[in-house]
Amino acid sequence: MTARELSFVHVFRPATVAGLPPVLLLHGTGGDETDLIGLGSAVAPGAALLSPRGQVLENGMPRFFRRLAEGVFDEDDLRRRADDLARFVGEARAAYGIGAPVALGFSNGANIAAAVRLLHPGVLSGAILLRGMVPLNGAVEKSVATPALLVSGDRDPIVPAANAARLAAMLEAAGGPVEHRVLPTGHGLTRVDVEMAADWYERQAALTPEAVAS
């Protein structure tokens, strides 16, 4: 692994298989840049992995943006942090010579990924949102098509079912096909989450120009 001095503390793991979309790993509250490396390797074997650490601390725990209470976001801060993360992706693409990544985010990481998807069309080539919820209020303008997978838990005490359904509708309205899967589980990740994410990533990877050319 290498870590260059870019605007986020991060880990970068180069690809070992050509033609795969890189993966942007976005941890949940209390995680760091190493937290989802194993998940990324399981979901996208051989792909380049880019994993930044959130720059906000909540009681000493890294996050990607501030919140006012559980499920209540500081939207001004969220928008600014989404801008910062989008800028970091551009820096990393130039530094490491990679294409637009597929975001793979869990919880807080899924929420910042959804915000980047909505506010910065074209930065991501896709998004896998595990236990994501609506990051922003209000309508968003339709933009470039970016596919997304949202995996929710029907017993999730943090993300109400209606909120997850609203996020799926919001992403679809903004452009791009959205698959919303609901599992009989809570907020934590399960083996089925990994299998669904890996299947979705494999299907998307098969559609990339690099994969078609190879």
- What is the per-residue pLDDT across 28-64, written as a single tens digit (0 to 9) for each? 999 999 999 999 999 999 999 999 999 999 999 999 9
Residue 67 and residue 58 in contact, taking contact as beta carbons nearer than 8 Å: yes
CATH architecture for residues 10-213: 3-Layer(aba) Sandwich (3.40)
Active site (catalytic) residues: 107, 156, 187
- The pTM of the full predicted model, rounded to 2 decimals, is 0.94
Domain residue limits, the chain: 10-213
- Rounded to whole angstroms, the Cα distance separating 44 from 197 reads 9
| Stronger pLDDT, 210 or 97, i.e. the higher one | 97
